[in-house]
């Protein structure tokens, strides 16, 4: 009876060693997969940041063009007002 207990203990030890090796192998694989996933996420995040920078630059350019349009319109209106004032002055002087 003592002999069978010894064999059971050895087989139990071998069983746990096998399970432990399997767990270590699985943990290494999981760590490698997580590292690859993190690299992918970092790459995509950098790509998104680059796209956001381009969009912000485009927005600033569009806003700058809109501001330039406003300035041009104000200049045209000022010129029209100046011409009307000069015309009124000439008409007044000719009376």
Q: What is the pLDDT of residues 48-60, one digit of tens each?
A: 999 999 999 888 8
Rounded Cα–Cα distance for residues 26 and 36 (Å): 15
Mean pLDDT, 10 residues at a time, the chain of 95 residues: 58 88 96 96 95 89 79 89 90 84
CA distance 18 to 9: 14
- Cβ–Cβ contacts within 10 Å for residue 21, how many? 10
Helix (H, G, I), strand (E, B) or coil at 1: coil
């Amino acid at each position: 009876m003592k002999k069978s207990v010894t064999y059971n203990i050895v087989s139990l030890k071998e069983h746990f060693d096998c399970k432990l090796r399997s767990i270590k192998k699985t943990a290494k694989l999981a760590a490698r997969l997580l590292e690859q996933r993190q690299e992918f996420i970092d790459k995509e995040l950098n790509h998104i940041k680059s796209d956001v920078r381009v969009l912000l630059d485009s927005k600033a350019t569009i806003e700058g063009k809109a501001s330039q349009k406003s300035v041009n319109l104000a200049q045209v209106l000022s010129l029209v007002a100046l011409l009307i004032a000069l015309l009124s002055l000439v008409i007044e002087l000719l009376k």
